[in-house]
Every structure is written in C-alpha cells, then in structure tokens.
Structure 1
Amino acid sequence: MFSPLFKANLYLSLFGWSKVPLIWLCRPKILTLNEHKVEIRIPLKRRTKNHLNSMYFGALAVGADIAGGFMAMSKAENRGEKISLAFKAVQGEFLKRPEADVVFVCEDGELIDAMLDKTTSTGERVNEAVTINAICPSLHGDEVMAKFVLTLSVKKRG
C-alpha cells in the first residue's frame, strides 16, 4: 500500500518527534534508502541556517547523524534484530558554505552489514568509521561541501 521510502520517512518523522525533537525540527527527508546507500535532505530554512545564510553547524551534524545511523537501524529492523546504536566519535571537515538544501550521502551499506553480522554472531559491541558527504546539488552538483567521519557503534540487544 505504501512504498518503503514513504514508511521510512514516516518512521523518521515519528522518531524525531517522539525521541529526538531536534531531528524533527530540521525536517529531514530520506531521498534514497537501499542496501548500499542512504541520502537524506535537510532543507535550508530559518530553523537550519546561520547568520551567514548557510546551513548551521548543528543542522549539518543532525544530517550526518541521520545518514550514518538510519541505514544501520533500517538494516537491523529488516533482519529482525534489535540493536543498540550510538556514535562514539565525530570528525567534520567543512570545505564550502552550504547555501541551499543539503543532501547527506552515506554509501557504507556493506560495512554496516558486516558490523551487524559481527555483533549478532558475537554479541560484542562493534565500532567502525562511516563516511558521510554533504552536498548541495541545486548549487554545486556533487561537489562535497562537508565531509563527516562518524564512529558508529552497534551492539545486539537482549
């Protein structure tokens, strides 16, 4: 009845509203979600921009967080696994001011699969670095505006 992308966006919106209101306030939208890649767009609006009319650092961090974590949550749910997910470290490199809607791209699907395989088989916490690139397609195509490396930490629950 509803597409998987519609369901994922509904889940993200409800998760943000009920668990992490800052996510909800940034109004992210999942553009692509498959086995290999996730793309999340955060619009440049009053709530997400800074005094220079570019995307505020905090909103960029929210986008990187969602892009790095949503794929792991989605993959675990599709497997029927319950996991605990957190970020242990973050590195950000800001290359150019994002002065339009920003799309956050994470293409670490295979790495996340391997992490989930390891934690479900061993029960141990698994930490790996995932890469998220922030782009402004409407202004600069695929040119990277910011690059984030987040240490994703997953552990099987229960």
Structure 2
Amino acid sequence: MAVSTSKFNTFTFFKLPSAWWCGVRLKYMDEKKAIVTVKHKWFNQNPFKSMFWAVQGMAAELATGAMMIDQIRNSGKKISMLVQNNKANFSKKATGKITFTCEDGHLIKAALDRTIATGEGQTIWMESVGINEDGVVVSTFDFEWTVRLKK
C-alpha cells in the first residue's frame, strides 16, 4: 500500500528541506507511477529567469525515489538506496508549473527481490519526464538507482 502524498510531503519537509522550500511536491503515487510538481518562482530560478536545473533535478529524482522508498518500506527489509548515476536533457526553458512523471515503478520490485534473495547490490535505471503547463517536455532525467540489502 502506498503512503499518502500528504505524509510523504511532510517527510520531505523534515528529510529533504531544500526540495520542500523550493516547492517540490508529490501529487500522486502508486506502485508503477509517481507525479511530482514544482512551480517556477523567484527563489528557484536561474539568472535567465527560468527554473534552476537542480530544482528540476530534485523534482525529477523525487518522482523516482518516492516509489523506491515506498516499495522498500513495504518489503519489510532493511535496504539501502542510492543514486549512482544520472543523465539529464533540457529541451525547453522551464517556467510556470512543471510536472515530472515517472512510470518505471514496475522495475523496483524485481531489483528488491534480487537483492533480498542474493544479498548482492542491484541497479535499475528510471526515467522522469518534466512537462510544462502547455504539455511540452522541458527536461528528461534518468537516474541509476542502486539497492542493497543491509547486513
């Protein structure tokens, strides 16, 4: 069962305060998909009056990581998670409300099952796509997550 978005957003206030203060919010999550929004504002902009790339990265990562956190919690096991690599592409100036969607949650369970069964670390790549209010892709992030059973 997925954690509620309001509880997860409270979690970000305490554990990811820079993301929370920049306006990053989880809007929807189930086992396969997560949606995170962030709005361009004065305090999260770059000198070119668009959203700073790192703010987009926080929102994009949360769309992947929220599902990872939830599925690890549901496994009942102590499993560490860490971003090992990431790639990003910026295709349009990010202004207004940007919505990041990740639909790769289905990849997580297999990686968790393998690390639990073998004790060896596993990696998966997950994609998060950011679109503006006009439905135009502004950025695409790919994150390589590693998971490992804690000893």
Fold agreement, TM-score > 0.5: yes
Residue ranges of structure 2 left out of the alignment (5+ in a row): none
| Corresponding position of 2:99 | 103
Q: How many residues align?
A: 150
Structure 1 CA distance for aligned equivalents of residues 13 and 124 of structure 2: 28
Query: Does the CA-based 8 Å contact 2:79-2:150 persist in structure 1?
Result: yes
Residues 123-156 of structure 1: per-residue CA shift (max 9 Å, x gap) = 11111211111111x2x22x32111111111112
Aligned-partner SS, 1:47: helix
Whether 1:31 and 2:39 are equivalent positions in the alignment is no
Contact 2:5–2:28, Cα closer than 8 Å, also in 1 = no
Per the normalisation by structure 1, the TM-score is 0.86
Identity rate, percent: 27
Using the alignment, how far apart are the partners of 1:75 and 1:151 within structure 2? 16
Find the aligned partners of 2:69 and 2:31 in 1 and give their Cα distance. 12
SS in 2 for 1:52: coil
Q: What is the distance in 1 between the residues matched to 2:150 and 2:19?
A: 24
1:113 aligns with 2:109: yes
> 1 CA distance for matches of 2:6 and 2:126?
22
For 2:9 and 2:145, locate their aligned partners in 1 and report how far apart those are by CA, in whole Å.
18
CA RMSD for the aligned pairs? 1.7
In the other structure, the counterpart of 2:44 is 48
Q: Tell me the residue number matched to 1:76.
A: 72
Distance (whole Å) between structure 2 residues aligned to residue 13 and residue 26 of structure 1 = 14
**Displacement, 1:21?**
2.4
- Unaligned 5+ residue runs, structure 1? none
Residue in structure 1 matched with residue 53 of structure 2 by the alignment = 57
Which residue type is aligned with residue 18 of structure 2?
L
Amino acid at match of 2:107: L
Matched-pair contact (CA < 8 Å) for 2:86–2:144 = yes
Answering whether residue 150 of structure 2 is matched by residue 150 of structure 1, we say no
Shift of 1:19: 3.0
Q: 1:154 to 1:12 in 2, by over 3 A?
A: farther
1:133 aligns with 2:129: yes
**Residue aligned with 2:96, SS:** coil
**Equivalent residue number for residue 8 of structure 1:** 5
